[in-house]
Structure 1
Amino acid sequence: MSRLFDSRPGDDGLPGPERRLAVLALILGTLMAVVDTTMVNIALPSLAADLGVSASRVVWVTNLFQVVCAAFLLVFAALSERVSRRRLYAAGVALFTLAALGSALAPNLETLLLFRALQGLGAAATLSIGPSLYRSIFPSRLLGSALGLSALVVAGGYAAGPTLGGLVLSVASWPWLFALHVPLGLCAASLAWRALPREAGRRDGFDWRGALCSVAMLAGLFLGLDGVGHGAPAWQVLGWLALSLLSAVLFLQRQRRARHPLLPLSLFAERRFTLAVSASGLAFVGQGLAFVALSFLYQQEMGFTPLETAWMFTPWPLAIMLVGPLAGQLADRVNPSLLSSGGLVLLLLGLAALAGLDAGAGVVDSLWRTALCGLGFGLFQPPNNREMMASVPRERSARASGVMSTTRTVGQSLGVALVGAFLAAGAPVQATLWVGAGACVLSLAASLGRVSLAGRAQREARHAEPLRASSDPD
């Protein structure tokens, strides 16, 4: 870990000592957004009882946060180039914090939903540009290690959320779940304003029409997929998906004509970037599908309680926390596409092993399979993220970061929707896990397709580093 804060002649990014506070700001902001999602899920029954609403209405406390966050990821990634990432990140954390306070004080469901939507906006501002800020903070030679740290933070947040939520609810009421964000958020916003890299905003225009199309496209897609996963009426699902498709067509037309497009399509002309995005989206389909399918498998077929089921999931994020930082460090030295491909092989084997579980399997049989999936995903994600960020020009890293976050969100949502569709059709849970394994096969094909491209790019970067150092005036 200490090597992340060492400086060498010719390094880009912030000087070593300045990285610590900047990284702490990113960690706190990311943790709040990630922990919130899983922590609040635990409180939904308590919220329904205290506010006197049905379970079908209270789920919007989670759904609205996720819809707003997903819909604005690309918008904020583009907006950050105009107002600067430091300002946007600090403002996002501040908005999330104030909205968390409003959620804690909300007297009814309607007020709570308003503040949850504002929290989703704040989370979108931070999550959309977080990876690009790692690229600005750390030198290129440590980009993989930095993104490994990011994977550790995200996995740790997902793992800690349910446990933290359970602990808080065991001694206090649900408003305290939101109130906990306030002191952390104030600290994170202050650190972000002081420590993140300062950069001038661009004076060119902003693609507002593209932004509206993007929001409609992603919100419609997310609501349609959510409807599939929760058994919504067919007309409602088709309506949302039709809105998403129409908005996508208008969005692409706008991006080809706009003088300052929200999402420059030229990003996808780089094959390394396009293949890394494809591999990421398909891998997250597999992970999102597995998380939901395993809940049904453990509880309905194997007879575990909800609390026991939560503990059965822990090997997955814990394995990511263990392997992710190591994979990130290796990606700075070894072809990252080879590493991520190896991780996908392990993830594929883990999902296939989980699909082979029967109702009489023991705890140990389940845990090692789940751990294998986590090891594979931990080995895949940081090197693949490094490929996405390193394959585009530095001035386009914020847009690449927005694509990365959007791909993750859409992939997970599609995985959840596939589980709902298969279960509604009467398919066994194990069949859905085989679908997840199939998504990993496609992801592996995309990852292998860029092995030679990534190796050549890494060799060129190593050759350029001593040249930069030798040309440094000091």
Structure 2
Amino acid sequence: MSPDDQQREKQGLDPRGRSALLAVLLGVMLSTLDTAIANVALPTIAADLQSHAADAIWVINAYQLAVVATMLPFAALGDGIGPRRVFLGGLVLFTVASGLCMAATSVELLAAARAFQGIGAGAMMSVNIALIRQIYPPTKLGRGVGINALVGSIGFVIGPTVASLLLSAASWPWLFGINVPLGLLAIACAWPTLPSSPPRPHGFDVGTAVLTATSFAALIFALGSMAQLAAWTQVLPAVVLTVVAGALLLHRQRGHATPMLPVDLLRRPMFALSAVTAVCAFATQGLAFVSLPFYFEQVLHRDAANAGYLMTSWPVVVAITAPLAGRLSDRHAPGLLGGIGLAVLAVGMCGLALQSHDPSLPMLVLWMALCGAGFGFFQAPNLTALMSSAPPHRSGGASGVIGVVRLLGQASGAALVALCFHLAGLRDGPTVALALGGVTAGLAAVASFARLRVRA
């Protein structure tokens, strides 16, 4: 431990360190809160901008596409120029893009502004743990990472409630406008206090970064276009670009000790199964959180505020059960715990899909809470499996995969909701999407249980 770390160990965080921590946590809060707020407001946005519900889902997809495409390149860029510069750039872009979202007058303009938001969020999310590591002394790193995770969970938990409160008092543009003062506060805290790192000019491969971003962006665009039943002239080029860029990326990374896209880790059966489990589970979450606002408002005829309050029960229960699952994962196999949780999630999703057109409030809360309990029981054990199945020197690559599979699953879920709306219409589409979520949760449970037969 260095003398500076020893001093910080004795004294704790000084005012400068606390200000830097506040800036990082505000960035995490903005990224997670904005996702949950947009999900709840989607029906209101679609109606106000006179857009088809399936087209309005690009407000969600554009954000997720940008985050997925940029997270790994920004993580590598942070190793080269330092996480401070990447985080500050992302924070400024996110704040400016929030103002553009507020001023959007069409779904197309709003989706474009959301894409810029996603680039900013991808920059912040890619280096926030690296900054936490610089802010906290080594022996207290776990505390800092825990606070970071807690704030992220709180952002997701309070998102539906915040959206409901704002929609009951103001129009939807203010859902994005709230980010502007928070972003300015974060910039004011971050600029003078975030720790600097000496740049490493040869630590970033621009070509690999471009291929990584292109591969993921084309993949998400292809999924979204297929879900929208777009013309083959739109879908085919996106599929071809995904394949070509992906092949070139794999060729360029061949033999690299620490590839930007860590495909070497996927050769480990435990890691690969855990990644598949995560994609299917987060696809279920995407199916649920994009379709549920339409389900509550269009199928059950609840207003936007009530829809947000109903959706809050899921993340609240996740926040309660996740710590318990984390403690249990120290003593029991992650495959077993995750499989049980995902099976419960599948039951909860099917229960929501099978509700009558006038269910009681307690029954809705019960099924939502069951979904939250199942999802919360899956998260910590799966995270443990992913990190423990990667060698210590590849922890950075494993962390990048965790973020990518989460966002890839959520984007796939949102695309599947659009497909359900196109095939079944706005009246039955949300119910079909919830039933499909039961299927993806069941597939995730199967993948999780399969880990009981392999070694890390």
TM-score for both structures, normalised by structure 1: 0.76
**Aligned equivalents of 1:161 and 1:11: distance in 2?**
38
**Aligned equivalents of 1:292 and 1:400: distance in 2?**
27
The residue that corresponds to 1:87 in the other structure is: 85
Tell me which amino acid in the other structure corresponds to 2:368. Answer: T
Tell me which amino acid in the other structure corresponds to 1:88. Answer: V
What SS class does the counterpart of residue 201 from structure 1 fall into? Answer: coil
The residue that corresponds to 1:177 in the other structure is: 175
Q: Tell me which of 428, 435, 440 is aligned to 1:436.
A: 440
Q: Describe the shift of the 1:119–1:413 C-alpha distance in structure 2 as closer, same or farther (beyond 3 A).
A: closer
Q: Could you say what the CA RMSD is over the residues aligned between the two structures, in angstroms?
A: 4.0
Alignment of 1:99-178 (within 5 A): 99-104=97-102, 115-134=113-132, 149-178=147-176
Tell me which amino acid in the other structure corresponds to 1:438. Answer: G
The residue that corresponds to 2:13 in the other structure is: 17
Cα deviation for residue 387 of structure 1 reads: 4.5
Q: Describe the shift of the 1:423–1:144 C-alpha distance in structure 2 as closer, same or farther (beyond 3 A).
A: farther
Tell me which amino acid in the other structure corresponds to 2:347. Answer: A
Q: Which moved more, 1:23-32 or 1:357-366?
A: 357-366
Tell me which amino acid in the other structure corresponds to 1:439. Answer: L
The residue that corresponds to 2:343 in the other structure is: 348
The residue that corresponds to 2:30 in the other structure is: 32
Tell me which amino acid in the other structure corresponds to 1:31. Answer: M
What SS class does the counterpart of residue 13 from structure 2 fall into? Answer: helix
Unaligned runs of 5+ in 1: 1-8, 454-474
Q: Tell me which of 383, 405, 408 is aligned to 1:407.
A: 405
What SS class does the counterpart of residue 38 from structure 1 fall into? Answer: helix
What SS class does the counterpart of residue 119 from structure 2 fall into? Answer: helix
The answer as to 2:280 corresponding to 1:282 is yes
The residue that corresponds to 1:3 in the other structure is: none
Q: Describe the shift of the 1:197–1:339 C-alpha distance in structure 2 as closer, same or farther (beyond 3 A).
A: farther
Number of matched pairs: 440
Q: Which moved more, 1:427-436 or 1:124-133?
A: 427-436
Q: Which moved more, 1:361-370 or 1:418-427?
A: 418-427
Cα deviation for residue 208 of structure 1 reads: 2.1
Q: Tell me which of 368, 371, 382 is aligned to 1:370.
A: 368
Q: Describe the shift of the 1:198–1:253 C-alpha distance in structure 2 as closer, same or farther (beyond 3 A).
A: same
Alignment of 1:68-83 (within 5 A): 68-83=66-81
Q: Which moved more, 1:432-441 or 1:131-140?
A: 131-140
**Aligned equivalents of 2:123 and 2:9: distance in 1?**
22
What SS class does the counterpart of residue 72 from structure 1 fall into? Answer: helix
Q: Describe the shift of the 1:383–1:413 C-alpha distance in structure 2 as closer, same or farther (beyond 3 A).
A: same
Cα deviation for residue 411 of structure 1 reads: 0.9
Unaligned runs of 5+ in 2: none
Q: What do residues 112-159 of structure 1 show as CA deviations (whole Å, max 9, x unaligned)? A: 665443322111101223345556656788777655544443333233
8 Å CA contact 1:147, 1:382 repeated in 2: no
**Aligned equivalents of 2:389 and 2:86: distance in 1?**
24
8 Å CA contact 2:134, 2:195 repeated in 1: yes
Cα deviation for residue 447 of structure 1 reads: 4.7
Q: What do residues 279-324 of structure 1 show as CA deviations (whole Å, max 9, x unaligned)? A: 3223212322333455565566655555444333222100122233
8 Å CA contact 1:77, 1:128 repeated in 2: yes
Cα deviation for residue 431 of structure 1 reads: 4.1
Cα deviation for residue 409 of structure 1 reads: 0.9
**Aligned equivalents of 1:144 and 1:442: distance in 2?**
31
What SS class does the counterpart of residue 125 from structure 1 fall into? Answer: helix
**Aligned equivalents of 1:354 and 1:395: distance in 2?**
39
Cα deviation for residue 76 of structure 1 reads: 0.8
The residue that corresponds to 1:314 in the other structure is: 312
Q: Which moved more, 1:39-48 or 1:175-184?
A: 39-48
What SS class does the counterpart of residue 97 from structure 2 fall into? Answer: helix
Cα deviation for residue 403 of structure 1 reads: 1.9
Q: What do residues 153-207 of structure 1 show as CA deviations (whole Å, max 9, x unaligned)? A: 3333233334323433444455443332233223323444555554433332532
Q: Tell me which of 186, 189, 192 is aligned to 1:188.
A: 186
Q: Tell me which of 364, 375, 379 is aligned to 2:377.
A: 379
**Aligned equivalents of 1:58 and 1:436: distance in 2?**
23
Q: Which moved more, 1:241-250 or 1:423-432?
A: 423-432
**Aligned equivalents of 1:264 and 1:354: distance in 2?**
33
Identity value in percent:
36
**Aligned equivalents of 2:144 and 2:56: distance in 1?**
37
The residue that corresponds to 2:217 in the other structure is: 219
8 Å CA contact 2:9, 2:139 repeated in 1: no
Cα deviation for residue 248 of structure 1 reads: 1.7
8 Å CA contact 1:100, 1:181 repeated in 2: yes
**Aligned equivalents of 1:109 and 1:365: distance in 2?**
34
Tell me which amino acid in the other structure corresponds to 1:351. Answer: A
Cα deviation for residue 399 of structure 1 reads: 3.5
Q: Which moved more, 1:106-115 or 1:253-262?
A: 106-115
The residue that corresponds to 2:415 in the other structure is: 417
**Aligned equivalents of 1:251 and 1:71: distance in 2?**
13
8 Å CA contact 1:148, 1:327 repeated in 2: no
The residue that corresponds to 2:330 in the other structure is: 334
**Aligned equivalents of 1:47 and 1:355: distance in 2?**
27
